[in-house]
Chains A and B, each alone.
Chain A
C-alpha cells in the first residue's frame, strides 16, 4: 500500500494557499484596477513577477525572508511558526507562485465589469461592501472562479519554491510533485508513475473545470452587452 501522505499534504497546502491567494488576489486586483495608469503598470510588474520568475528564485527570496536567522523568520519563530523545512512553508511557497494567476484573472474580470452597475447600486443607497460582494463579485463570478481554480492547480503542482523552502522529508514535507522527483531519483519507477498519474488526473479535472467556466462566461458575456 502506497503511503498517501504526499497527496494529503499537497491538498492541504494547496487548499490553504488558495484561500489566501483568493482574497489577496481579489483585493490586489480591485485596487490595482482603480490606480492611475503609471502606478498600475509598476504594481502590475511586481505582482506578476512570480509568474515569470523561475520558482527556485521565488524560493530563494522566501528563504531570505523566512530563514531561521532572518528577522521575519525569527519573529515568527517566537510564536512557534517555523516555515523552513516544515509543511506550512509549502503554503507560503505555493501562495507566492500561484498569486499572479489569481490576481491577473481577477483583474481582467474587474476591468470588464460594467461600472454602471456599481453606480446604480450607490445611487439606490446600497453600501459599497454590499455592492462589492453581491453585484461586482456576482458579475465577475466566472472569471474569479476560473482564477481560483487555476491558482489552486498551480499551488497543487508547485515544485521549485517548495523544494527550496521545505525540501523533501517523507511523511513530513513531501508533496506530490516533490515525491515524483524523489522516487524517480531513487529508481522507484512504479512509485513515480503512480504519483505522475495522480498529477495527471488532478490537472485534467482542473483544466476541464476552467474550460467549462470560460465557455459559460462567454455566453453570459454576450448577453451583458446592450
Chain B
C-alpha cells in the first residue's frame, strides 16, 4: 500500500494545500477543527474534488487534474469511517455489514463472511439491532465491520472516537489499535486529540489552516516538534519568541531570561517551547526565581501559573504541571528546566 497525495483546494477564504505520502503504516493527521483534515479525507475518497493536484493509491491514479482523471468514490476502493459512523437506518447491524459485501454474488458466502466479521468484532449480541439501538462502541464496530468486509485498499478514520463517552474512548482505542495492527493495509486517521493521535498513530502529520507540515514519526514529533505550529498542536503550553545568543544559548525577551539548550541552536530560530511538565523545583540548570500565581487542582496533578522575576508584565503567565505527590509545603521560589527539555522552534 502506498498513498501519495498532493492537492490544492480553495473554498472561500479557506485554502487547502496538502502533500504527503505513506505506506502500510498507521498515519495520523492532527489538527484543530476546521483545519482541513476531513476535507483531505473527502478529497482522497472522491467525495470532494480538489482544484488541482494528484492522488495515487498503490500505483492507481485516483485523481489527476492535469490528465483529467477523477475516479468516482465507488471506483476508488477507499474505506471511510465517518465520525457519526453513518450506519444505514432501517437496516440491522448484519444487514449493514452485508451492504459491504454487495460485490460477493454467492449468497451463502456473503452470509458466511458477514458472520465471520461479526464474530471477529464481537458484535454477535447486537447483530439483529437497528442502528438507533446501538451504543457508541457497537455502532463504531458495526461501521468498521461494514468497511472491512468490503476490502478497501486504504482505511480512513475520521475522528473515530469523538462521538464516544470519555471513559469508553481509551478502551476502544486499545481495541481498535489491536485490531488494525495486523490489518496489513494503510490506515489514515484524522483527529484533533493529541493523546489519541499519540496512542494510535505511528506516523503523524500536523495540519494547520489547510496546510500539512511534514509527516514524522510520532514519538520524534512530540519530543521535538521543530515548529511553533507543531508545538502548539502537540500540546506545548509555554511558547515564547526567542533569539540565538550562543551555540547552545538563547534569549527569551518575554520572560527576560537566557536559557541553555541541549541541542545546538541553528539559524532561523523563531521561538522556544517548554512543556508544562518539564519544570522542576530541584533542577539546577536553567534555574530562575519565580512567583507562583493561580493554582488549580486536578485528580492526580496540580496546575500552576507562574511568572519569572523580570518577566514582561504584558506577557502570558507560564504553566507548570506536576504530580500531586511532588507538591511542596511552600510554593517554590525558583524553578529549573533541563536543557534537553528546551524545544527549539524554527521558522517554516
Contacts and interface: CB of A to CB of B under 8 A. Distances in A.
A125 B146 CA distance: 12
Name B's interface SS. Answer: loop
B7 interface: no
Nearest to A122: B73
Interface string A102-131: 000000000000101101111111110010
A93 B81 CA distance: 48
Interface string B81-95: 011111011100000
B209 to A, nearest CB: 24
Interface in B55-88: 72-74, 76-80, 82-86, 88
A121 B74 CA distance: 8
A226 B84 contact: yes
A114 B74 contact: no
Contacts of B88: 117, 121, 134-135, 138-139
Interface string A215-226: 000001001101
Nearest to B158: A116
B12 interface: no
A123 B78 contact: yes
B6 to A, nearest CB: 21
Contacts of A123: 45-47, 73-74, 76, 78-80, 147, 152
Interface in B135-184: 143, 146-147, 150, 152, 163
Contact of B74 (A116, A122, A223): A122
A220 B89 contact: yes
B89 A127 contact: no
A109 to B, nearest CB: 13
B131 to A, nearest CB: 8
Nearest to B84: A226
Given A125-B103, A226-B163, A119 B86 contact: yes
A114 B77 contact: no
A124 B86 contact: no
Most buried by A among B76, B82, B85: B82
Contacts of A114: 84, 86
A124 B82 contact: no
Interface in A125-164: 125-127, 130, 134-135, 138-139, 141
A226 B76 CA distance: 28
Interface string A181-210: 000000000000000000000000000000
B132 A220 contact: yes
B113 to A, nearest CB: 14
20 contacts: A116-B82, A116-B83, A116-B86, A119-B73, A120-B82, A123-B45, A123-B78, A123-B79, A123-B80, A123-B147, A124-B102, A124-B147, A125-B74, A125-B103, A126-B74, A126-B99, A126-B102, A135-B88, A226-B84, A226-B85
Given A116-B84, A124-B102, A124-B146, 15 more contacts: A119-B45, A119-B47, A119-B80, A120-B80, A122-B46, A123-B76, A123-B80, A124-B147, A125-B77, A125-B102, A127-B74, A135-B88, A224-B132, A226-B83, A226-B85
Interface of B: 42, 45-47, 72-74, 76-80, 82-86, 88-90, 99-100, 102-103, 132, 143, 146-147, 150, 152, 163
